[in-house]
Amino acid sequence: MRARLSDIARQAEVSEATVSRVLNDRPGVSTETRQAVLTALDVLGYERPERLRKRSAGLVGLIVPELENPIFPAFAQTIESALSQSGFTPVLCTQTPGGVTEDEYVEMLLDRQVSGIVFVSGLHADTSADHERYQRLLSRPLPIVLINGYSANLNAPFISCDDRLAGEMAVSHLVALGHTRIGFVSGPDRFVNVQRKLDGYRAAMRRELGVGDRELEELIALTLFGVEGGEVAANQLLSRGVTGMVCGSDLMALGAIRAARRRDLSVPRDVSVVGFDDSPLIAFTDPPLTTLRQPVAAMGNAAIRQLVDEINGQGAPRSEYVYAPELVVRGSTAIHKAGRGAESMNVTAA
């Protein structure tokens, strides 16, 4: 037991005395520390003492693409909290370029006998990826929930933000401000969320401005996700005379703002920019970013409700739950200098 205590203490980054208090269910240990020790116990593969088993139904994996985009830590925080409240121990798996892949994380989690897995913007969102990997999990059977990325071929619960509506709302906002030359900036169109935002963007541009297909294609720039990708795509569109840009993420919107400033253009006086996500701290950028807010808390909690139902054998509905985004108007959008009728617009600023 001495060696085990040492291993657990090292994994949890606490003292052996603290591990002993937790294992013997003694008072004087904070909830956070107790959870850290129990997580270490599960991760190392040690069996919990009988007195502690009722406090946790087991491990649940949470796989996210990366943590550089602040929307993913926001999802992770909500989901981990909901799992802990439901009696499960969350295990966060974060991917990095050249690091552990999603499939490798899944194998590690299966070795730990997890009760289920939550995937956030994983390979299920990539239409070019083989989705058979998820079918194999469902066939085990292992409960899974997939967030932001839908595949009609998978009989599983999906939780999504309404990306099509987001594309439409962003265009409508810029049109109301008098913009007619509105571009679209996003990542590769093999991803479901990009395809849906594009559908909404195109539909709104046709409906509200009568823009034809040929002109639409000139107003769309797809590159890599992230600030750098946003800057590259925005440069292409600024060369084509856009005065407003709809961006696939807040980070890409920040790249678009940087591209405008490097051309000595002012945001929002010369160019208006709309992001997507409403990531933490986005309200404090310069200028504060107008964006479409993902309802992260509602989506994360819904995902865990579905997963827990699956784990408990209650059978969550195999369908897609779609949550509406919210337009948050801040300082990166303004009335176009040659705008028409924007003065009568009724919006609420955040």
With a cut of 50, list the residues of the chain below it in pLDDT. Answer: 1, 54-56, 339-349
Query: Looking at residue 57, what is its pLDDT?
Result: 64
pLDDT for 51 equals 66
What's the pLDDT at 66?
84
Structure confidence at residue 3 (pLDDT): 52
The pLDDT, as a whole number, for residue 34 is 83
Residue 69 CB-half CA count within 13 A:
27
SS (H, E, C) the chain: CHHHHHHHHHHHCCCHHHHHHHHCCCCCCCHHHHHHHHHHHHHCCCCCCHHHHCCCCEEEEEEECCCCCCHHHHHHHHHHHHHHHCCEEEEEEECCCCCCCHHHHHHHHHHCCCCEEEEECCHHHECCCCCHHHHHHHHCCCCEEEECCCCCCCCCCEEEECHHHHHHHHHHHHHHCCCCCEEEEECCCCEHHHHHHHHHHHHHHHHHHCCCHHHHHHCEEECCCCHHHHHHHHHHHHCCCCCEEEECCHHHHHHHHHHHHHCCCCCCCCCEEEEEECCCCHHHCCCCCEEEECCHHHHHHHHHHHHHHHHCCCCCCCCEEEECCEEEECCCCCCCCCCCCHHHCCCCEC
pLDDT score for 30 = 84
pLDDT for 340 equals: 40
Dist CA 252 CA 185 (whole Å): 7
Residue 346 confidence (pLDDT): 33
